[in-house]
Protein backbone atom coordinates (compact mmCIF):
# COMPACT_ATOMS: atom_id res chain seq x y z
CA UNK A 1 0.00 0.00 0.00
CA UNK A 2 1.36 3.43 -0.90
CA UNK A 3 0.32 6.90 0.14
CA UNK A 4 0.59 10.09 -1.89
CA UNK A 5 1.47 13.19 0.02
CA UNK A 6 -0.79 16.07 -0.98
CA UNK A 7 0.86 19.30 -2.03
CA UNK A 8 -0.13 22.13 0.29
CA UNK A 9 0.21 25.67 -1.07
CA UNK A 10 2.61 27.65 1.06
CA UNK A 11 1.40 31.01 2.33
CA UNK A 12 2.25 33.08 5.40
CA UNK A 13 -1.46 33.96 5.61
CA UNK A 14 -2.76 30.37 5.80
CA UNK A 15 -3.29 30.63 9.55
CA UNK A 16 -4.78 34.12 9.77
CA UNK A 17 -7.50 34.09 12.40
CA UNK A 18 -10.22 36.59 13.17
CA UNK A 19 -11.28 37.62 16.66
CA UNK A 20 -13.98 40.02 17.79
CA UNK A 21 -13.00 42.45 20.53
CA UNK A 22 -14.48 42.07 23.99
CA UNK A 23 -17.80 43.78 24.73
CA UNK A 24 -16.19 46.51 26.83
CA UNK A 25 -14.18 47.63 23.78
CA UNK A 26 -17.23 47.95 21.51
CA UNK A 27 -19.28 51.11 20.95
CA UNK A 28 -22.92 50.81 22.05
CA UNK A 29 -26.17 52.70 21.47
CA UNK A 30 -25.23 53.81 17.95
CA UNK A 31 -28.40 54.40 15.92
CA UNK A 32 -27.06 53.01 12.63
CA UNK A 33 -28.86 54.39 9.58
CA UNK A 34 -31.63 52.32 8.02
CA UNK A 35 -31.26 53.98 4.64
CA UNK A 36 -31.98 51.65 1.71
CA UNK A 37 -28.63 51.96 -0.01
CA UNK A 38 -25.82 49.42 -0.36
CA UNK A 39 -23.14 51.36 1.46
CA UNK A 40 -20.61 50.45 4.17
CA UNK A 41 -22.24 53.17 6.34
CA UNK A 42 -18.91 53.41 8.17
CA UNK A 43 -15.45 54.87 7.50
CA UNK A 44 -12.40 54.42 9.71
CA UNK A 45 -8.88 55.84 9.80
CA UNK A 46 -6.14 55.79 12.46
CA UNK A 47 -7.76 58.75 14.26
CA UNK A 48 -11.54 58.44 13.95
CA UNK A 49 -14.54 56.17 13.44
CA UNK A 50 -17.42 57.67 11.43
CA UNK A 51 -20.86 56.03 11.21
CA UNK A 52 -23.93 57.17 9.28
CA UNK A 53 -26.81 57.31 11.74
CA UNK A 54 -30.55 57.89 11.85
CA UNK A 55 -31.45 61.56 11.97
CA UNK A 56 -34.77 63.35 11.89
CA UNK A 57 -35.25 66.12 9.34
CA UNK A 58 -31.97 65.65 7.49
CA UNK A 59 -28.85 63.55 7.35
CA UNK A 60 -26.12 63.05 9.92
CA UNK A 61 -23.13 60.94 10.81
CA UNK A 62 -21.32 60.28 14.04
CA UNK A 63 -17.56 60.87 14.42
CA UNK A 64 -15.72 59.62 17.52
CA UNK A 65 -12.03 59.05 18.31
CA UNK A 66 -10.69 55.62 17.35
CA UNK A 67 -10.09 54.88 21.05
CA UNK A 68 -13.77 55.40 21.95
CA UNK A 69 -15.62 52.53 23.62
CA UNK A 70 -18.77 52.14 25.67
CA UNK A 71 -22.12 53.85 25.32
CA UNK A 72 -22.76 56.78 23.00
CA UNK A 73 -24.89 59.38 24.74
CA UNK A 74 -27.86 60.58 22.71
CA UNK A 75 -26.64 64.17 23.15
CA UNK A 76 -23.31 63.32 21.50
CA UNK A 77 -22.63 65.93 18.76
CA UNK A 78 -22.76 64.82 15.12
CA UNK A 79 -21.98 66.14 11.66
CA UNK A 80 -25.46 67.20 10.61
CA UNK A 81 -25.30 69.66 7.70
CA UNK A 82 -27.17 67.68 5.02
CA UNK A 83 -30.84 68.30 4.24
CA UNK A 84 -31.54 64.60 3.50
CA UNK A 85 -30.10 61.22 4.57
CA UNK A 86 -26.36 60.66 4.14
CA UNK A 87 -25.56 57.71 1.85
CA UNK A 88 -21.76 57.47 1.88
CA UNK A 89 -18.78 58.82 3.82
CA UNK A 90 -15.07 58.56 3.02
CA UNK A 91 -11.97 59.84 4.83
CA UNK A 92 -9.30 61.58 2.81
CA UNK A 93 -6.27 59.30 2.32
CA UNK A 94 -3.99 62.32 2.78
CA UNK A 95 -5.47 63.99 5.86
CA UNK A 96 -7.00 62.03 8.75
CA UNK A 97 -9.11 65.05 9.76
CA UNK A 98 -10.87 65.51 6.39
CA UNK A 99 -13.99 63.52 5.52
CA UNK A 100 -16.40 63.75 2.58
CA UNK A 101 -20.11 62.88 2.73
CA UNK A 102 -22.66 62.21 -0.04
CA UNK A 103 -26.38 62.64 0.43
CA UNK A 104 -29.86 62.25 -0.99
CA UNK A 105 -29.95 66.06 -1.08
CA UNK A 106 -27.80 65.82 -4.29
CA UNK A 107 -24.77 67.44 -2.66
CA UNK A 108 -21.35 66.35 -1.48
CA UNK A 109 -19.85 68.10 1.52
CA UNK A 110 -16.30 68.07 2.87
CA UNK A 111 -15.72 68.50 6.59
CA UNK A 112 -12.72 69.18 8.81
CA UNK A 113 -12.93 67.25 12.08
CA UNK A 114 -10.94 68.79 14.95
CA UNK A 115 -8.34 66.68 16.74
CA UNK A 116 -10.03 64.91 19.63
CA UNK A 117 -13.41 64.83 17.88
CA UNK A 118 -16.51 67.02 17.95
CA UNK A 119 -17.44 69.15 20.93
CA UNK A 120 -20.59 70.60 19.32
CA UNK A 121 -22.79 69.76 16.32
CA UNK A 122 -21.08 70.51 13.01
CA UNK A 123 -23.41 72.05 10.41
CA UNK A 124 -21.05 74.11 8.24
CA UNK A 125 -18.89 72.23 5.73
CA UNK A 126 -15.63 73.71 4.52
CA UNK A 127 -16.60 72.86 0.93
CA UNK A 128 -19.97 72.02 -0.67
CA UNK A 129 -19.88 70.39 -4.11
CA UNK A 130 -22.99 70.71 -6.29
CA UNK A 131 -23.00 69.00 -9.67
CA UNK A 132 -25.54 66.16 -9.47
CA UNK A 133 -29.25 66.33 -10.26
CA UNK A 134 -30.18 63.24 -8.21
CA UNK A 135 -28.99 61.67 -4.97
CA UNK A 136 -25.28 61.01 -4.63
CA UNK A 137 -24.33 57.61 -3.28
CA UNK A 138 -20.68 56.92 -4.11
CA UNK A 139 -17.49 58.70 -3.05
CA UNK A 140 -13.87 57.84 -3.84
CA UNK A 141 -10.76 59.89 -3.07
CA UNK A 142 -7.84 59.56 -5.46
CA UNK A 143 -5.27 57.39 -3.67
CA UNK A 144 -2.20 59.41 -4.70
CA UNK A 145 -3.37 62.85 -5.93
CA UNK A 146 -4.12 65.43 -3.25
CA UNK A 147 -7.71 66.75 -3.00
CA UNK A 148 -9.05 64.84 -6.02
CA UNK A 149 -12.49 63.38 -5.24
CA UNK A 150 -14.80 61.30 -7.46
CA UNK A 151 -18.56 61.30 -6.91
CA UNK A 152 -21.29 59.28 -8.60
CA UNK A 153 -25.03 59.67 -8.36
CA UNK A 154 -28.34 58.21 -9.46
CA UNK A 155 -28.27 60.62 -12.41
CA UNK A 156 -25.66 58.23 -13.94
CA UNK A 157 -23.14 61.10 -13.85
CA UNK A 158 -19.57 60.76 -12.61
CA UNK A 159 -17.95 63.96 -11.34
CA UNK A 160 -14.29 64.53 -10.52
CA UNK A 161 -13.57 67.49 -8.24
CA UNK A 162 -10.59 69.48 -7.08
CA UNK A 163 -11.73 69.81 -3.48
CA UNK A 164 -9.07 72.41 -2.70
CA UNK A 165 -10.73 74.89 -5.06
CA UNK A 166 -14.26 73.44 -5.22
CA UNK A 167 -13.84 73.16 -9.00
CA UNK A 168 -15.64 70.50 -11.04
CA UNK A 169 -12.71 69.21 -13.08
CA UNK A 170 -14.38 66.49 -15.17
CA UNK A 171 -17.97 65.43 -15.64
CA UNK A 172 -18.75 62.14 -17.38
CA UNK A 173 -22.42 62.03 -18.27
CA UNK A 174 -22.48 59.52 -21.12
CA UNK A 175 -19.71 57.03 -20.28
CA UNK A 176 -21.91 54.92 -18.00
CA UNK A 177 -25.51 54.42 -19.20
CA UNK A 178 -26.48 52.24 -16.21
CA UNK A 179 -26.95 53.17 -12.58
CA UNK A 180 -23.48 53.50 -11.14
CA UNK A 181 -24.09 51.03 -8.32
CA UNK A 182 -25.32 48.40 -10.78
CA UNK A 183 -23.48 45.06 -10.84
CA UNK A 184 -24.60 44.24 -14.37
CA UNK A 185 -21.75 46.00 -16.11
CA UNK A 186 -18.24 47.12 -15.19
CA UNK A 187 -16.45 49.79 -17.17
CA UNK A 188 -12.89 51.06 -16.79
CA UNK A 189 -12.94 54.78 -17.53
CA UNK A 190 -10.16 57.35 -17.88
CA UNK A 191 -11.86 60.45 -16.39
CA UNK A 192 -9.32 62.86 -17.87
CA UNK A 193 -10.21 61.75 -21.41
CA UNK A 194 -13.81 60.75 -20.79
CA UNK A 195 -13.26 57.46 -22.59
CA UNK A 196 -14.02 53.85 -21.76
CA UNK A 197 -10.76 51.88 -21.87
CA UNK A 198 -10.65 48.68 -23.93
CA UNK A 199 -10.25 46.01 -21.26
CA UNK A 200 -11.43 42.41 -21.54
CA UNK A 201 -13.76 41.93 -18.58
CA UNK A 202 -16.05 39.42 -20.28
CA UNK A 203 -14.70 36.39 -18.41
CA UNK A 204 -13.93 36.29 -14.66
CA UNK A 205 -10.55 34.99 -13.51
CA UNK A 206 -12.20 33.10 -10.67
CA UNK A 207 -15.70 32.41 -9.37
CA UNK A 208 -16.46 31.80 -5.69
CA UNK A 209 -19.87 30.51 -4.61
CA UNK A 210 -21.29 32.37 -1.60
CA UNK A 211 -24.20 31.46 0.63
CA UNK A 212 -27.06 33.87 1.15
CA UNK A 213 -27.83 35.89 4.24
CA UNK A 214 -29.65 39.05 5.26
CA UNK A 215 -26.43 41.03 5.65
CA UNK A 216 -24.85 43.38 3.13
CA UNK A 217 -21.99 41.60 1.34
CA UNK A 218 -19.09 44.08 1.40
CA UNK A 219 -15.74 43.43 -0.31
CA UNK A 220 -12.46 44.85 1.03
CA UNK A 221 -9.11 44.48 -0.71
CA UNK A 222 -5.72 44.88 0.97
CA UNK A 223 -3.09 45.69 -1.70
CA UNK A 224 -0.24 45.17 0.79
CA UNK A 225 -1.07 41.51 1.40
CA UNK A 226 -3.13 40.81 -1.75
CA UNK A 227 -5.96 39.60 0.44
CA UNK A 228 -9.69 40.00 -0.23
CA UNK A 229 -12.24 40.03 2.59
CA UNK A 230 -15.94 39.43 1.92
CA UNK A 231 -18.20 40.12 4.85
CA UNK A 232 -21.84 39.65 5.79
CA UNK A 233 -22.78 37.36 8.70
CA UNK A 234 -19.56 35.55 7.84
CA UNK A 235 -16.26 37.18 6.85
CA UNK A 236 -14.45 35.04 4.29
CA UNK A 237 -10.92 35.89 3.34
CA UNK A 238 -8.91 34.93 0.30
CA UNK A 239 -5.40 35.44 -1.04
CA UNK A 240 -4.98 36.61 -4.64
CA UNK A 241 -1.91 35.37 -6.54
CA UNK A 242 -0.59 35.33 -10.09
CA UNK A 243 -0.94 31.56 -10.34
CA UNK A 244 -4.07 29.60 -11.19
CA UNK A 245 -6.66 29.42 -9.70
CA UNK A 246 -5.63 32.98 -8.70
CA UNK A 247 -8.02 33.28 -5.73
CA UNK A 248 -7.25 30.99 -2.80
CA UNK A 249 -9.66 30.56 0.10
CA UNK A 250 -7.93 30.98 3.48
CA UNK A 251 -10.51 30.86 6.24
CA UNK A 252 -13.70 32.40 7.57
CA UNK A 253 -15.06 34.11 10.64
CA UNK A 254 -18.69 33.35 11.52
CA UNK A 255 -21.11 35.21 13.74
CA UNK A 256 -24.83 34.95 14.35
CA UNK A 257 -25.82 38.53 13.61
CA UNK A 258 -25.85 40.05 10.10
CA UNK A 259 -24.00 43.29 9.59
CA UNK A 260 -25.60 46.60 8.73
CA UNK A 261 -22.29 47.82 7.32
CA UNK A 262 -18.57 47.79 8.08
CA UNK A 263 -15.47 49.96 8.08
CA UNK A 264 -11.96 48.81 7.16
CA UNK A 265 -9.08 50.67 8.80
CA UNK A 266 -6.05 51.62 6.72
CA UNK A 267 -2.85 49.69 7.32
CA UNK A 268 -1.41 52.69 9.19
CA UNK A 269 -3.89 51.96 12.00
CA UNK A 270 -3.22 48.27 12.72
CA UNK A 271 -1.29 47.02 15.76
CA UNK A 272 1.99 45.68 14.37
CA UNK A 273 3.07 44.54 17.85
CA UNK A 274 0.25 41.97 17.81
CA UNK A 275 0.80 40.94 14.16
CA UNK A 276 -2.61 42.44 13.30
CA UNK A 277 -2.82 42.70 9.50
CA UNK A 278 -6.39 44.02 9.19
CA UNK A 279 -9.24 45.33 11.32
CA UNK A 280 -12.93 45.67 10.61
CA UNK A 281 -15.54 47.68 12.45
CA UNK A 282 -18.76 45.70 12.08
CA UNK A 283 -22.02 47.62 12.38
CA UNK A 284 -24.88 45.92 14.21
CA UNK A 285 -28.30 47.49 14.71
CA UNK A 286 -27.02 49.60 17.62
CA UNK A 287 -23.39 48.59 18.09
CA UNK A 288 -19.95 48.94 16.49
CA UNK A 289 -17.81 45.83 16.99
CA UNK A 290 -14.09 45.75 16.09
CA UNK A 291 -12.79 42.49 14.58
CA UNK A 292 -9.04 41.91 14.25
CA UNK A 293 -7.29 39.71 11.68
CA UNK A 294 -4.04 38.36 13.14
CA UNK A 295 -1.20 36.14 11.96
CA UNK A 296 0.08 33.97 14.84
CA UNK A 297 3.80 34.51 15.42
CA UNK A 298 5.95 33.56 18.41
CA UNK A 299 8.55 36.28 18.05
CA UNK A 300 8.02 39.73 19.56
CA UNK A 301 10.15 41.33 16.85
CA UNK A 302 8.68 43.38 14.00
CA UNK A 303 7.50 40.97 11.29
CA UNK A 304 8.67 42.70 8.14
CA UNK A 305 7.29 39.99 5.83
CA UNK A 306 3.76 40.78 7.05
CA UNK A 307 4.15 44.53 6.70
CA UNK A 308 5.64 45.75 3.43
CA UNK A 309 5.92 49.53 3.20
CA UNK A 310 2.41 50.92 2.91
CA UNK A 311 0.77 54.07 1.53
CA UNK A 312 1.57 57.13 3.62
CA UNK A 313 -0.43 60.30 4.26
CA UNK A 314 1.80 62.23 1.86
CA UNK A 315 0.26 62.62 -1.63
CA UNK A 316 2.44 61.74 -4.58
CA UNK A 317 0.84 64.46 -6.75
CA UNK A 318 -0.86 67.78 -6.28
CA UNK A 319 -4.32 68.12 -7.77
CA UNK A 320 -3.17 70.30 -10.65
CA UNK A 321 -0.38 67.86 -11.52
CA UNK A 322 -2.89 65.02 -11.85
CA UNK A 323 -5.27 67.21 -13.85
CA UNK A 324 -2.38 68.02 -16.20
CA UNK A 325 -1.99 64.31 -16.95
CA UNK A 326 0.61 63.10 -14.49
CA UNK A 327 0.35 59.76 -12.67
CA UNK A 328 2.41 58.45 -9.78
CA UNK A 329 2.39 55.47 -7.42
CA UNK A 330 1.72 56.14 -3.73
CA UNK A 331 4.51 57.35 -1.49
CA UNK A 332 5.29 54.56 0.97
CA UNK A 333 6.16 54.48 4.65
CA UNK A 334 7.55 51.76 6.90
CA UNK A 335 5.41 50.40 9.75
CA UNK A 336 8.43 49.24 11.75
CA UNK A 337 7.97 50.41 15.32
CA UNK A 338 4.40 51.50 14.62
CA UNK A 339 3.23 54.50 12.62
CA UNK A 340 3.24 58.16 13.60
CA UNK A 341 1.86 60.66 11.11
CA UNK A 342 4.45 63.26 10.09
CA UNK A 343 3.54 66.91 9.47
CA UNK A 344 2.58 67.46 5.83
CA UNK A 345 3.62 70.43 3.74
CA UNK A 346 0.43 69.98 1.69
CA UNK A 347 -1.95 69.54 4.60
CA UNK A 348 -3.09 73.17 4.83
CA UNK A 349 -4.02 73.56 1.15
CA UNK A 350 -7.67 72.78 1.78
CA UNK A 351 -7.99 74.40 5.19
CA UNK A 352 -6.62 77.77 4.11
CA UNK A 353 -9.09 78.16 1.24
CA UNK A 354 -11.82 80.78 1.64
CA UNK A 355 -15.25 79.28 2.09
CA UNK A 356 -16.97 78.82 -1.25
CA UNK A 357 -20.01 80.94 -2.04
CA UNK A 358 -23.19 79.00 -1.33
CA UNK A 359 -25.94 79.18 -3.94
CA UNK A 360 -28.59 79.69 -1.30
CA UNK A 361 -26.77 82.26 0.82
CA UNK A 362 -25.38 84.47 -1.93
CA UNK A 363 -22.45 85.51 0.22
CA UNK A 364 -19.18 83.92 1.16
CA UNK A 365 -17.00 84.08 4.23
CA UNK A 366 -13.92 86.23 4.24
CA UNK A 367 -10.80 84.49 3.09
CA UNK A 368 -8.43 83.13 5.69
CA UNK A 369 -5.30 85.16 6.32
CA UNK A 370 -2.38 84.08 4.17
CA UNK A 371 1.15 83.75 5.54
CA UNK A 372 4.06 85.67 4.05
CA UNK A 373 5.11 83.80 0.88
CA UNK A 374 8.48 82.07 0.77
CA UNK A 375 10.57 81.17 -2.31
CA UNK A 376 9.49 77.54 -1.89
CA UNK A 377 5.77 78.39 -1.73
CA UNK A 378 6.07 80.77 -4.70
CA UNK A 379 7.79 78.10 -6.78
CA UNK A 380 5.11 75.58 -5.80
CA UNK A 381 2.35 78.02 -6.81
CA UNK A 382 4.06 78.74 -10.13
CA UNK A 383 4.35 75.00 -10.77
CA UNK A 384 0.67 74.52 -9.99
CA UNK A 385 -0.36 77.38 -12.31
CA UNK A 386 1.75 75.93 -15.12
CA UNK A 387 0.01 72.60 -14.58
CA UNK A 388 -3.41 74.27 -14.83
CA UNK A 389 -2.44 76.05 -18.06
CA UNK A 390 -1.13 72.78 -19.51
CA UNK A 391 -4.30 70.94 -18.50
CA UNK A 392 -6.54 73.56 -20.12
CA UNK A 393 -4.42 73.52 -23.29
CA UNK A 394 -4.76 69.75 -23.49
CA UNK A 395 -8.52 70.05 -22.91
CA UNK A 396 -8.86 72.62 -25.69
CA UNK A 397 -6.87 70.39 -28.04
CA UNK A 398 -9.13 67.43 -27.22
CA UNK A 399 -12.29 69.48 -27.83
CA UNK A 400 -10.90 70.75 -31.14
CA UNK A 401 -10.23 67.17 -32.28
CA UNK A 402 -13.76 66.13 -31.28
CA UNK A 403 -15.23 69.11 -33.13
CA UNK A 404 -13.18 68.26 -36.23
CA UNK A 405 -14.47 64.67 -36.15
CA UNK A 406 -18.05 65.90 -35.93
CA UNK A 407 -17.57 68.30 -38.84
CA UNK A 408 -15.99 65.50 -40.91
CA UNK A 409 -18.95 63.22 -40.21
CA UNK A 410 -16.91 60.68 -38.25
CA UNK A 411 -19.26 60.83 -35.24
Is residue 269 packed enough to be buried (19+ CB in 10 Å), middle (13-18) or exposed (0-12)?
Answer: middle
Q: For residue 271, is pLDDT > 70?
A: yes
pLDDT for the residue 43: 97
Confidence band of 141 (pLDDT split at 50, 70, 90): very high
Confidence band of 121 (pLDDT split at 50, 70, 90): very high
- Residue 129, strand partner residues: 108
CB 138 within 8 A of CB 160: no
pLDDT for the residue 360: 36
pLDDT for the residue 337: 83
Q: Which of 54, 70, 53 is nearest to 62 (CA)?
A: 53
Q: For residue 178, is pLDDT > 70?
A: no
Count Cβ atoms below 10 Å from residue 79 Cβ, excluding itself: 26
pTM for this structure?
0.79
Determine the average pLDDT of the residues in 33-54: 93
Cis peptide before 213 (omega within 30 of 0): no
Q: What backbone torsions phi and psi does residue 141 show, to the nearest 5 degrees?
A: -80, 145
pLDDT for the residue 342: 61
Of 60-69, 152-161, 294-303, 383-392, which gets the smallest average pLDDT?
383-392
pLDDT for the residue 193: 65
Spatial separation of the C-alpha atoms in residues 350 and 353, rounded to whole Å? 6
Count Cβ atoms below 10 Å from residue 167 Cβ, excluding itself: 14
Q: What share of residues in the chain are helix, strand, coil (percent, to 5)? A: 10, 30, 55
pLDDT for the residue 359: 31
Return mean pLDDT, the chain: 82
Confidence band of 369 (pLDDT split at 50, 70, 90): very low
pLDDT for the residue 46: 94
Amino acid sequence: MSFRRGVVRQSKFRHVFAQAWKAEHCIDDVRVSRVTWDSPLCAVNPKFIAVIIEAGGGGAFLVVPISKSGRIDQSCPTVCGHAAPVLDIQWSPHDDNIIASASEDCTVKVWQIPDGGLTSPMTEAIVTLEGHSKRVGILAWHPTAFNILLTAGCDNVICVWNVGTGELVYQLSDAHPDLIYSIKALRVIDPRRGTVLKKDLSEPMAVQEMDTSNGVLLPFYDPDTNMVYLGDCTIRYFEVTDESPYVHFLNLYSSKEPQRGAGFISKRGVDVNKCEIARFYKLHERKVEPISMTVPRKSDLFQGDLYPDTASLEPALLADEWIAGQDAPPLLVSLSGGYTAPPSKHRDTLRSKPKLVSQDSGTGAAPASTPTPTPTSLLAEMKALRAVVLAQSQRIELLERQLARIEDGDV
